[in-house]
Structure 1
Amino acid sequence: MNKVKQAAIQQINGTVYSLEFDDIYHSSSGAREQAHTVFVSGNHLPERFAALKNNQFSIFETGFGVGVNFLATAQCWYENRSNDQAHLHYVACEKFPVSSSDLNHIIQEYVFPENITKQLINQWPSLTTGYHEIRFNKESITLTLIFDDIRSATNNLTMSIDALFLDGFSPKKNPDMWQEDILMTLAKHCHAKTTLATWCVAGSVREVLTKAGFNLTREKGFGQKKHRLVGQFDRIPEDKQAIRQERYFPHISRYLKQSSVKQVGVVGGGIAGSLLTYVLTQSQINVTLFERGSHIANAASGNPAGILRPVVSKDDNILSRITRRGFFLTKQLIKELEYHSSELIAHYPGVIHLAKDHTEQITQQDIVKTRHFPTDYVTYLTGEEIKTRFQIDHPLGGLFFTQAGFINPQRLCERAIHLSSQRLTLHLNTEIQQIKQQNDKWLVFNANNEQIGEFDSLVLCLGANNLSVTEMLGLTINRGQLSLFNHPNLTAALPVLCKDGYIITLPNNQVLSGATYDHELDPNPTITNHEKNQQRLLAILGKNPLAFNSVLDRIAYRSVSRDRLPVVGELSQKGLYCIMGNASRGIVWSVLNARIIRSLITGEPQPIEKTLLDNLSPQRLFSRHI
């Protein structure tokens, strides 16, 4: 993916000027007024929001800029929507995002509701490539920012568009934004009621939009612009829209489904199933959760602590991209859950990935130099810096993920389930032995072959377990053993330390060491693995293992796919989904996985790009199996 470059801007003569494009972000006659006239009114949003009967409305904008169009739309939504259950999804692409300090300074010049502007400023993301999400929970708005090139963003888009904002710089200054293939691709995400608005009335743009299926009208412009353009995608009858998408755009058709699912069954009450339950119930979906144990989070999700950190690579590969997206989404959800209680779920002392040899040291240094990640995301610390800051002797240095840390998985699951209670039916000590599809419903049966549930959709979050329908995924099971120690003089201020395993310094003078990776599935802790974890205290912390007292050893099992990526999406039958193969990264992936499943069920915009979705889908494993 392309690297993110911060926008170079100046404020002059009542507008914001782009140094990259030698063009202005908005008219000097008034940014707020231009946004309302051209985009909000041009797409008839006040009337459409007031009359909205669906549970969601989705907008795509080709250039987010400094957020004026979004703020105007959010204000319109706040003032006009009549359906309290409805949610606004606003997705915007931006190749050159502004810094948080520039945004904070610029946004003060505009008159928008303070509750919305403050949330936008406070949640402005790190400038890393890909999807970023800002949630306005009280206003029922989700802003998804895609920091990427417009062609990459549109080619990987997985959403159905209700209103389209074409707001790039002038075609003469930024021709890439207005290319025929981009506009034609966007049209393939439109339906019979999709509207379009733009300030641009260039003949070449009008010609392409007409060819793509929009009926266009020139209307009175704003400021110095004589005209502006509005349009409606009404050439395809509404009842033929699904056929059109399947025929002409089959590679995204499965991500554009909309349904009225109200009853979902979830099998498995670990971190995957618990967070999925929370995410679904937040969208007014009733969930029945089946857990084979006596309480939720009883397997690997019951570990004393787990690491929350992203992964980086020189080529920003698939693993790096999904862990980055999962990392930010998980932190966001944890903050949401912690708001409802004084008890902390997460601690963020940072995570250091220590270089194990000179080759890895050079690789880590190259990643930081070539990828240009923000320093608030990841930076390289020399051995001297690590020793000075943390009194850890490791001459080769390591990557420091400054926003990362560790969580209490069981507390995370319990809080999620507690906040889902109004729409949740929980069945503990219930093992599902069989599932069956009948008349577009999914039936589940217990160990006595008794039917105990009927659902519109069913999601299998089986952890290290399997049903016959998931055996074709070819997942393998690995065993892990971790060890908890006590030390009277251990500081809790240390970051999490990773190097062929990990060391997590916990409160109360405790330290967690793990985890082994074994193919033998012995359910009992072994002395050999305990000693491996004990030796990490010396190898990573540099402390004598004999100075630590053993508190407990714990065994858990991991489900691992052939490519070591999670398996998330629809299985071979309609309405049957899975979240499996999380390996040792369930903490950083589970919120992302849950959001993917919710989007597949509800038809809301997906939280990641199509390329990543395809690489997580169960279909990739079925095709390899065949």
Structure 2
Amino acid sequence: MKISNAIIDWKAKSPHSNQYEDIYFNPEEGIEESLYTFLETNMIGGLFSKIRQQNIIIAETGFGTGLNFLLTASLWLQNSPQKSKLKYISVEKFPLSSSDLQKALEQWPEFKELSQAILKQYPLPQAGFHTFKINHSNIELLLMFGDAAESYSRLNAKVDAWYLDGFAPSKNPDMWSPALFREMARLSKPDTTFSTFTAAGIVKRGLRDVGFDVRKQKGFGRKREMLVGTFVENKAPKAIDKPWFELPASKKPEEVMIVGGGLSGCSTARALAERGVKVTLIEQENQLATGGSGNPQGALYAKLPVKQTTQGELHLSGFLYSVNMLKRIDPEESFWSQCGVMQLATSDKELARQNNLIEQETYPQELVSLKSAEELSEIANTAVNFDGLFFPSAGWVSPRALCDHFVDHPNISVVQQQVEELSFAEGHWRLATQSGEFLSASHLIICNAEMANQFSQTDHLPLKTIRGQVSITQAKPTNNKLNSVVCGDGYISPAQNQQYCFGATYDLQGKERNITQEDHESNLEKLGKVLPDIHADLASESNDLQGRTAFRCSTPDYMPIVGPAPVQDEFIETFAQLRKDRKWRFENAEAEHHPNLYVNTGHGSKGLITCPISAELLASMICDEPLPLPKDVIDAINPARFIIKKLIKQTI
């Protein structure tokens, strides 16, 4: 769905919604009212003080100005639980613009540090899930832009307390719906609490119908009554759609092994290490990021579809997550640059697609806009031959430097070994290495790109390699200093350490790692088509070009493979009826997975935008936390999808 910012009138420093003809907060006693209605009634302080070893998950309907989050996060910091995290989930259909949010947050200077953390990561008005990390990742905010019931229907979490906020049922009846109440019940557990400022009968009856014990109590100030309560049982029958994608139960482990030291493995290691898990990262080469993650520079941007697709949602979510992450971990831009990316329309077909994309207004102008060749030439500081899209928040990253950053953590140990075989016994995975040594841990994640299917447990994964060669050369001291990343049939980034990196070839058949002059000429030809002056500077020394060859690891549907490893034979037996009827309802069918075995591979050339968010997804799965991506997106990258597709097509 298209997201529009809230239309706000400001009345004496208080925001008023034009859509709902209602105020966001009490202008005189906003903090006191929120404290009483949500934190005190849900006994949040007591919940924080007694929890030391697990996460606290609070969900809200109506993020608004973020006041409830500020109060909750501030209270959390006062308690400072050492080995747990605050996970705060909220939804907003009409989010405030950044400028309106900043103006609202200025009303509460006591929360200045938290407010600045929100503003630095506050997303563009784009539908979907947006993850913020605050206070060294001790606090996480998952902010969903979209309809409340629909957004929560895509969430995987178990909530401790609900803040039913938002505009009053009389002003916004669509939100206070049976669909929302059903999702609340699905996401609650026994003793999950809720509170809300309203005492409307539709809310009271709706919550009781789905299993909440509901009662009235004194409202704040002059408000006579409000509703509070506790979840008892889910009265709706449990319906599992696509049981083959049900995730196995998990409990946060003490230690994990990861095979593969590229972007996938290193980002996953860091995501787990930040959760207090000890990680052994196993890499067969003598340094990290020697495969597809080892190029000097990679373009950081997402190629957007005209109409939203699951793949497009993954790529855009991953792009926005990676940009926020990089701004947080490397504000000086020492190994990346937010210099913008141009996606040129080098054919009439592509130009028509780009015009259509802009006309649909699916994406905010702050994210992407269509520019003429003249406008792009001014931005790039050199002649650009084509019109195209410009992504101002995109840029380039050094993948190897990013990998080095990821593993620089006391909970991560890097081991140089080549793994030959996997076996599981007595609750532990045992890895036999080429040197004859054995490594062991309760949990194992396979992240070694195209080699991920070398093991018997994962040999069914349909991975393929795509050879690519980049060209590298010294940047001449000319006036044609490139200021942004340019993508056409290939790509080139602004010079790093006085060197240009450009390319890359796309060879589906090539298996050799050698550097060829033919590929250099191909890269130069692509460069000359889009940037004639830069090409003229570099082509004269084509025989002196250096280069690097690597293999992208891809999949048949060009989506990564992220999630628990299925037991192929058991899947075939359990879901065999799909061969005859793809709509068959499997009552009480359970998907069987290898215990504590996960896969993270197949990122192709999109690793900079898909690896960090996939790492966060896997770490959340393994540690039993709310998942940072919508369920349909998670299903689309589930390792079991290929088995199910083959059953439906009767090819297995």
Q: Distance in 2 between matches of 1:587 and 1:516?
A: 18
Greater shift, 461-470 or 148-157, is seen at 461-470
Quote the Cα distance in structure 2 between the aligned partners of 1:313 and 1:49. Answer: 43
Match of 1:319 among 311, 322, 336: 311
Q: Where does residue 273 of structure 2 map in the other structure?
A: 281
**Which of 468, 472, 475 does residue 480 from structure 1 map onto?**
468
Q: Which moved more, 1:256-265 or 1:477-486?
A: 256-265
Picking from 396, 402, 405, the partner of 1:415 is: 405
Q: Report SS of the residue matched to 1:574.
A: strand
Please give the secondary structure, in 2, of the residue aligned with 1:558: strand
8 Å contact kept, 2:385–2:529: no
Residue type of the alignment partner of 1:439: E
Please tell me the residue identity of whatever aligns with 2:433: N
Q: CA deviation at 1:612?
A: 0.6
Q: Give the match for residue 589 of structure 1.
A: 610
Q: CA deviation at 1:78?
A: 1.8
Q: How does 1:522-601 map to 2 (within 5 A)?
A: 522-542=512-532, 543-544=535-536, 546-549=539-542, 550-572=544-566, 573-601=594-622
SS in 2 for 1:303: coil
Q: Deviations over 1:322-353 (max 9, x none)?
A: 121111222233234326xx771101221100
Letter matched to residue 461 of structure 2: L
CA distance in 2, matches of 1:215, 1:245: 15
Once residues 627 and 237 of structure 2 are traced to their aligned partners in structure 1, the CA distance between those partners, rounded to angstroms, is 18
Query: What secondary structure is seen at the aligned counterpart in 2 of 1:162?
Result: strand
2:52, 2:83 within 8 Å by CA — same for their partners in 1?
no
Query: C-alpha distance in 2, partners of 1:411/1:569?
Result: 26
Shift of 1:209: 0.6
CA–CA separation in structure 2 for the residues paired with 1:396 and 1:123: 33
Query: Is residue 374 from structure 1 mapped to residue 364 from structure 2 by the alignment?
Result: yes
Q: CA deviation at 1:122?
A: 2.8
Question: Pick from 441, 449, 453: which aligns with 1:455?
Answer: 441
For 1:397 and 1:106, the matched residues in 2 are separated by 39
Shift of the 249–216 alpha-carbon distance from structure 1 to 2, 3 Å rule, reads farther
After superposition, the C-alpha distances for 1:427-455 in whole angstroms (9 at most, x for unaligned) are 11x1111111212321111125x452222
**Inter-partner Cα distance in structure 2 for 1:493 and 1:527:** 24
Aligned counterpart, 1:358 = 348
- Deviation for aligned residue 1:507: 3.0
CA deviation after TM superposition for structure 1 residue 15, in Å:
4.1
Cα distance between partner residues in 1 of 2:632 and 2:414: 35
Task: Give CA-to-partner distance per residue, 1:64-109, whole Å, 9 cap, x none.
Answer: 011111111112212234x211100001000100011111111122
Structure 2 distance, partners of 1:494, 1:294, is 34
Q: 1:220-235 maps to which residues of 2 (within 5 A)? A: 220-235=218-233
Q: CA deviation at 1:583?
A: 0.7
On the 8 A contact 1:306/1:406 being kept in 2, the answer is yes
What aligned pairs does 1:41-80 form with structure 2 within 5 A after superposition? 41-80=40-79
SS at match of 1:302: coil
- Shift in Å, 1:356: 1.5
Shift of 1:188: 0.7
Other-structure match for 1:292: 284
Counterpart of 2:336, as a letter, is A
Q: What is residue 31 of structure 1 aligned with on the other side?
A: 30
Partner of 2:390: 400
Matched AA of 2:73 = A
Alpha-carbon RMSD across the aligned residues, in angstroms, is: 2.2
Q: How far apart in 1 are the matches of 2:347 and 2:505?
A: 20
**C-alpha displacement of 1:260:** 3.0
Contact 2:13 2:104 in 1 (8 A): no
Post-superposition shift, 1:375?
2.9
Q: What secondary structure sits across from 1:157 in the alignment? A: coil
TM-score, normalised on structure 2?
Answer: 0.89
Instruction: Describe the superposition over 1:254-292 as per-residue Cα deviations: whole angstroms up to 9, x where unpaired.
Output: 458451311100000011111111111111000011101
Segment of structure 1 superposing worse, 246-255 or 269-278: 246-255
Deviates more, 1:111-120 or 1:29-38: 111-120
1:240 maps to what in 2? none
Distance between the aligned counterparts of 1:256 and 1:179, measured in 2? 31
TM superposition shift of 1:30: 1.7
Conservation of the 8 A alpha-carbon contact between 1:78 and 1:139: no
Check the 8 A contact 1:270/1:297 in 2, yes or no.
Answer: yes
Q: Contact between 2:52 and 2:82, CA under 8 Å: does it hold in 1?
A: no
User: In the alignment, what sits opposite 2:588?
Assistant: none
Q: Deviations over 1:529-549 (max 9, x none)?
A: 221012123112113353245
Q: Which amino acid aligns with 1:357?
A: S
- C-alpha distance in 2 between matches for 1:270 and 1:56: 29
Name stretches of at least 5 consecutive residues in structure 1 with no aligned partner.
237-243
Write the distance in 1 (CA, Å) between the matches of 2:208 and 2:493: 59
Q: Does the C-alpha gap of structure 1 residues 235 and 321 become closer, same or farther in structure 2, counting only changes over 3 Å?
A: closer
- Number of the residue aligned with 2:458: 470
Task: Summarize deviations over 1:583-610 as a string: whole Å, max 9, x none.
Answer: 1111111101100100110111111111
Residues of 2 paired with 1:31 and 1:329: CA distance?
Answer: 32
Question: Does 2:292 match 1:306?
Answer: no
Q: Is the CA contact (8 Å cut-off) linking 2:56 and 2:86 kept in structure 1?
A: yes
* Cα distance change, pair 263–138 in 1 and its aligned pair in 2 (3 A): closer
Q: Judging changes above 3 Å, is the alpha-carbon distance between structure 1 residues 565 and 590 closer, same or farther for their aligned structure 2 residues?
A: same
| Matched-pair contact (CA < 8 Å) for 2:154–2:631 | yes
Work out the percentage of aligned pairs sharing the same amino acid. Answer: 28
CA distance in 1, matches of 2:247, 2:221: 40
Change over 3 Å in CA distance of 1:73–1:258 after alignment to 2? farther
Alpha carbons of structure 1 residues 184 and 451: separation in structure 2 relative to 1, 3 Å:
farther
- CA pair 309-227 structure 1, distance change in 2 beyond 3 A: same
Equivalent-residue separation in structure 2 for 1:259 and 1:147 (angstroms)? 29
Is 1:3 aligned with 2:24? no
Say whether residues 1:99 and 2:97 are aligned partners: yes
Q: Deviations over 1:396-434 (max 9, x none)?
A: 40000101111111111112112x2x2122211x11111
Deviation at 1:55, TM superposition (A): 2.1
1:515 maps onto 2:504 in alignment: yes
Aligned residues: 611
C-alpha separation between the residues in 2 aligned to 1:459 and 1:107? 42
Whole-angstrom CA distance in 2 between matches of 1:143 and 1:29: 27
| Aligned partners of 1:146 and 1:153 also within 8 Å | yes
- Worse overlay, 172-181 or 484-493: 484-493
- Is 1:433–2:427 an aligned residue pair? no
Matched, 1:114 2:102: no
CA distance in 2, matches of 1:206, 1:575: 42
2:484 paired with 1:498: no
User: Residues 156, 31 of structure 1: CA spacing in aligned structure 2 closer, same or farther, 3 A cutoff?
Assistant: same
Q: Is the 8 A contact 1:58 1:163 kept in 2?
A: yes
Matched, 1:611 2:632: yes
Measured after TM superposition, the shift of residue 185 of structure 1 is 1.5
Structure-2 residue corresponding to 1:267: 259
Give, in whole Å, the separation in 1 of the partners of 2:298 and 2:517: 22
- Where 1:434 maps in the other structure, the secondary structure is strand
- Separation in 1, partners of 2:360, 2:170: 31
Cα distance in structure 1, aligned partners of 2:475 and 2:110: 54
SS of equivalent to 2:312: helix
Is the Cα–Cα contact under 8 Å of residues 260 and 283 in structure 2 kept in the other structure? yes
TM-score when normalising by structure 1:
0.93
Describe the shift of the 1:343–1:354 C-alpha distance in structure 2 as closer, same or farther (beyond 3 A).
Answer: closer
Q: How many angstroms does 1:318 deviate by?
A: 2.1
Structure 2 residue identity aligned to 1:575: N
Task: State which drifts further: 11-20 or 453-462.
Answer: 11-20
